[in-house]
Chains A and B, each alone.
Chain A
Amino acid sequence: MTFDYAPAPESRSVVDLAPSYGLFIDGEFAEGAGGGLRKTVSPATEEVLAEYTQGTAEDVDRAVQAARRAFEKWSALPGAERAKYLFRIARIIQERSRELAVLETLDNGKPIREARDADLPLVAAHFFYYAGWADKLGHAGFGPDPKPLGVAGQVIPWNFPLLMLAWKVAPALACGNTVVLKPAETTPLSALFFADICRQAGLPKGVVNIVTGDGSTGASLVAHPGIDKVAFTGSTEVGKAIARTVAGTDKKLTLELGGKAANIVFDDAAVDQAVEGIVNGIFFNQGHVCCAGSRLLVQESIQDELLDALKRRMATLRVGDPLDKNTDIGAINSAEQLARITELAAAGEAEGAERWSPSCELPGSGYWFAPTLFTGVTQAHRIAREEVFGPVLSVLTFRTPEEAVAKANNTPYGLSAGIWTEKGSRMLWMANQLRAGVIWSNTFNKFDPASPFGGYKESGFGREGGRHGLEAYLNV
């Protein structure tokens, strides 16, 4: 007997969307300087949610000037006062978290279950965590009286729109900087709602400025001579372009870029837990995660057993309406991203890997991609080398720990890795050998504001979260 799930849709009535949004500059929503309006759509239905403003270089300049004016007072405030503003923001985020979770799901396509249970609690937690640092910077290990840098230009991606905002804005403000933030082109709405939270919190004008727009808006921000710090999360390709832009300037730079994480499963791993970790590692947030466990390295002796269990588990994943509380995998964020995933998956087949997906019915409108598994993948295959940024898992095998290390490290990236073994000494040895910034052992995709996050090699530089995350926003 099969038990079907009855639909359990979350109401979208808690979100009050305006038909059109301006830019948030100097504490006010303002029209742009003539860049026109763009539309943001729900990736699950292709419905137009709202229009927003395409920020121009002129708009960016206005925002930077507003942030510069605000910097003097904001940085001079006693840390304890800055802390109170951040605590207020954290509390308002908690109060409005249902509204924000629904909004995030609408604009991004992620399952409401994840927006509600992962994104929003972490967003609030980040503001709480960094609020507490604002009056304790002298104890952070960067000297007795570290100073803020000035105006921070921040450019964030579309996979965790509000969470990435929190990762950038909370430490910047705690350290006494002011910010100009550009949210992603396909997910601008939650940043604009955050602007309203800043208003409710009574944050002084110009301390936070939001300029929406596409990549050209971000490029104007990064190149603006009036900013002192650039923080970017996104693709390695854009990260390299930004590193070239700031070369020879005094701008401090931190980059959180792509990844191609190995999730390594040994023959003594607890299989059921490993399967859950593999699924969480690659299918969380539709695989739109820079630290996604996209390369499964499984010890040859348990390959068949593990893959059988993994396929059984994948067959139970529910793909569909992101607002349904039962949904595990929502919509791909944009038509463009869907095309990229489709192309790379096709390359996987063309290069000889074996493709498998559970049977699942995808909605007729919107952007969708079934959870996909490739076996028989070699290190030379594109799906083993390039970041897919979608729900596509490549399976490789190994025999010895040394071989697992060599294969795991065989990538220009170095953001994260997973290890599944019951043997502590082996776990610690592996963690030591892997060239990656975050190692999840017998777990995966865990985040916390107190825990530093960031990569080695071409996954970027700098750390976000924890005491280490302060360094990016101080003159050290």
Chain B
Amino acid sequence: MSERLSVLKTYKLYVGGKFPRSESGRVYEVTTATSAADAAGKGTWLANAPLASRKDARDAVVAARKAFGGWSGATAYNRGQILYRVAEMLEGRREQFVAEVADAEGLSKAKAAAQVDAAIDRWVWYAGWSDKVAQIAGSSNPVAGPYFNLSAPEPTGVVAVVAPQESSFLGLVSVLAPVIVTGNTAVVVAAERAPLPALSLAEVLATSDLPGGVVNLLSGRTTELAAPLAAHQDVNALDLTGADAESAKELETAAADNLKRVLRPRAQDWSADPGTDRLLAFLETKTVWHPMGV
């Protein structure tokens, strides 16, 4: 009896709630992580990931903009429910992500499992912020006059995210969840060398009641995809966490053209408890005045 041949997966992009191949028809080879000890210097072939193009990036922005009204207009309770549903789905696919993270990052099964568990827990933590952030970031302002004056946070809009390069799943979740839980929509460029956990996350998002277009995931060359996103006039903010120092400067310069909010890259320990700064970075404060009187 011959050994069973496994069924390979064709990884695809996630744009507007659909799973297209790159419009360019291009793919690139994704391999297991290589270590210094690996004399061959080349990992084992895992899959051909889509090599997304600038056009794919622009399509993703269109999808994210289209989804913004509905997602930002949803109640905070509803967004929290949907994010929590994502965590439920992640838990169900835990073994798949452990295997993918182990391959992607060259980790032992146990270490990869710790990364995945931390990522799921982080997603749950952020899910709980949906209906609390307005209470800690908003205020009633005691102005010197007969006015009702209230400040409340609102999502800034479409956020382009350059996901961390080294942490293919925990890092990705740590930058994506704070963007969307507050009502923004996202276009994410996955870690260039290790995009498969991100592309699999898309399958989870697609089956978790998250409206299409709220999260759009691209795999490919980070520099090729980040440039058109940083220069795009319909992107409101840019998270440069996964950009290297030199391209971060270029991207921030391009982002100045329409005054995108920019979160600069900085050294970060993904295992540490996150604060609220990633939540607050993609919020605007709206203040409403109304006279008081009878």
- Residues of A whose CB lies within 8 Å of any CB of B are 125, 141, 143, 236, 239-241, 243-244, 247-248, 250, 255, 257, 412, 427, 431, 436-443, 446, 448, 450-454, 456-458, 460-461, 463, 466-468, 476
Could you tell me if A247 and B252 are in contact, using CB atoms closer than 8 angstroms?
Answer: yes
Known: A441-B288, A466-B151. 16 other contacts (CB 8 A): A236-B259, A247-B249, A247-B255, A248-B250, A257-B259, A437-B284, A437-B285, A438-B287, A439-B288, A442-B291, A443-B147, A448-B143, A448-B149, A451-B141, A451-B151, A452-B287
**Quick check: is B3 within 8 A (CB to CB) of the other chain?**
no
Q: How far is the CA of A67 from the CA of B240 in the complex (A)?
A: 31
- Nearest Cβ distance between residue A167 and chain B, in whole angstroms? 15
Which residues of chain A are near B290, meaning CB under 8 Å? 427, 441-443
Could you tell me if B257 and A240 are in contact, using CB atoms closer than 8 angstroms?
Answer: yes
List residues 261-278 of chain B with CB under 8 A from any CB of chain A. 261-262, 264, 275, 277
Could you tell me if A458 and B288 are in contact, using CB atoms closer than 8 angstroms?
Answer: no
Q: How far is the CA of A248 from the CA of B275 in the complex (A)?
A: 24
Which residues of chain A are near B245, meaning CB under 8 Å? 248
Q: How far is the CA of A255 from the CA of B259 in the complex (A)?
A: 9
Main SS class of interface, B: mixed
From A243, A456, A467, B284 is in contact (CB under 8 Å) with: A456
What are 30 A-B interface contacts by the 8 Å CB criterion? Answer: A143-B275, A241-B256, A243-B255, A248-B248, A248-B253, A250-B264, A412-B258, A431-B288, A437-B284, A437-B285, A438-B287, A440-B289, A443-B290, A443-B291, A448-B145, A450-B143, A450-B144, A450-B149, A451-B287, A451-B289, A452-B139, A452-B287, A454-B285, A456-B284, A457-B236, A460-B259, A461-B259, A466-B151, A466-B287, A476-B277
For the complex of A and B, the 5 pairs showing the least CB-CB separation, nearest first, are A248-B249, A243-B256, A247-B252, A448-B143, A247-B253
**Residue of B with least CB distance to A438:** B287
- Nearest Cβ distance between residue B86 and chain A, in whole angstroms? 26
**Residue of A with least CB distance to B156:** A456
**Residue of A with least CB distance to B245:** A248
**Quick check: is B37 within 8 A (CB to CB) of the other chain?**
no
Could you tell me if B141 and A452 are in contact, using CB atoms closer than 8 angstroms?
Answer: yes
Which residues of chain B are near A241, meaning CB under 8 Å? 256
Which residues of chain A are near B258, meaning CB under 8 Å? 412, 457-458
Q: How far is the CA of A239 from the CA of B256 in the complex (A)?
A: 9
From A436, A442, A451, B149 is in contact (CB under 8 Å) with: A451
Could you tell me if A125 and B156 are in contact, using CB atoms closer than 8 angstroms?
Answer: no
Could you tell me if B256 and A244 are in contact, using CB atoms closer than 8 angstroms?
Answer: yes
- Nearest Cβ distance between residue A465 and chain B, in whole angstroms? 8
- Residues of B whose CB lies within 8 Å of any CB of A are 136-137, 139, 141-145, 147, 149, 151, 156, 236, 245, 248-250, 252-253, 255-259, 261-262, 264, 275, 277, 284-291
Which residues of chain A are near B262, meaning CB under 8 Å? 247
Which residues of chain B are near A446, meaning CB under 8 Å? 143, 145, 147, 289
Q: How far is the CA of A247 from the CA of B248 in the complex (A)?
A: 8
Take A244-B253, A446-B147 as given contacts and tell me if A457 and B139 are in contact as well, using a CB distance cutoff of 8 Å. no
Which residues of chain A are near B257, meaning CB under 8 Å? 240
Which residues of chain A are near B259, meaning CB under 8 Å? 236, 239-240, 243, 255, 257, 457-458, 460-461
Could you tell me if B253 and A141 are in contact, using CB atoms closer than 8 angstroms?
Answer: no
Which residues of chain B are near A141, meaning CB under 8 Å? 136-137
Q: How far is the CA of A441 from the CA of B289 in the complex (A)?
A: 6
Which residues of chain A are near B256, meaning CB under 8 Å? 240-241, 243-244, 247
**Residue of A with least CB distance to B275:** A143
Which residues of chain B are near A440, meaning CB under 8 Å? 289
Q: How far is the CA of A384 from the CA of B147 in the complex (A)?
A: 30
Q: How far is the CA of A441 from the CA of B261 in the complex (A)?
A: 27
Chain B CB within 10 A, most for which of A239, A436, A458, A468: A468
- Nearest Cβ distance between residue A142 and chain B, in whole angstroms? 9
Q: How far is the CA of A448 from the CA of B146 in the complex (A)?
A: 12
**Residue of B with least CB distance to A445:** B289
Which residues of chain A are near B289, meaning CB under 8 Å? 438-441, 443, 446, 451
Which residues of chain A are near B137, meaning CB under 8 Å? 141
Which residues of chain A are near B145, meaning CB under 8 Å? 446, 448
Could you tell me if B141 and A466 are in contact, using CB atoms closer than 8 angstroms?
Answer: yes
- Nearest Cβ distance between residue B292 and chain A, in whole angstroms? 10
Q: How far is the CA of A452 from the CA of B139 in the complex (A)?
A: 10
Could you tell me if B151 and A452 are in contact, using CB atoms closer than 8 angstroms?
Answer: yes
Q: How far is the CA of A236 from the CA of B258 in the complex (A)?
A: 9
Which residues of chain B are near A438, meaning CB under 8 Å? 286-287, 289
Which residues of chain A are near B275, meaning CB under 8 Å? 143
Q: How far is the CA of A80 from the CA of B151 in the complex (A)?
A: 27
- Nearest Cβ distance between residue B286 and chain A, in whole angstroms? 6
Could you tell me if B143 and A451 are in contact, using CB atoms closer than 8 angstroms?
Answer: yes
Which residues of chain B are near A436, meaning CB under 8 Å? 286
Which residues of chain A are near B248, meaning CB under 8 Å? 248
From B143, B156, B285, A468 is in contact (CB under 8 Å) with: B285
Could you tell me if B253 and A467 are in contact, using CB atoms closer than 8 angstroms?
Answer: no
Q: How far is the CA of A381 from the CA of B104 in the complex (A)?
A: 54
- Nearest Cβ distance between residue A240 and chain B, in whole angstroms? 5
Which residues of chain A are near B142, meaning CB under 8 Å? 450
Q: How far is the CA of A244 from the CA of B231 in the complex (A)?
A: 13
Chain A CB within 10 A, most for which of B141, B250, B259: B259
- Nearest Cβ distance between residue B185 and chain A, in whole angstroms? 15
Which residues of chain A are near B156, meaning CB under 8 Å? 456
From A125, A460, A468, B144 is in contact (CB under 8 Å) with: A125
Q: How far is the CA of A437 from the CA of B285 in the complex (A)?
A: 6
**Residue of B with least CB distance to A243:** B256
Could you tell me if B287 and A453 are in contact, using CB atoms closer than 8 angstroms?
Answer: yes
Could you tell me if B147 and A439 are in contact, using CB atoms closer than 8 angstroms?
Answer: no
Which residues of chain A are near B147, meaning CB under 8 Å? 443, 446
- Nearest Cβ distance between residue B69 and chain A, in whole angstroms? 10
Which residues of chain B are near A454, meaning CB under 8 Å? 285
Could you tell me if B285 and A463 are in contact, using CB atoms closer than 8 angstroms?
Answer: yes
Q: How far is the CA of A208 from the CA of B259 in the complex (A)?
A: 29
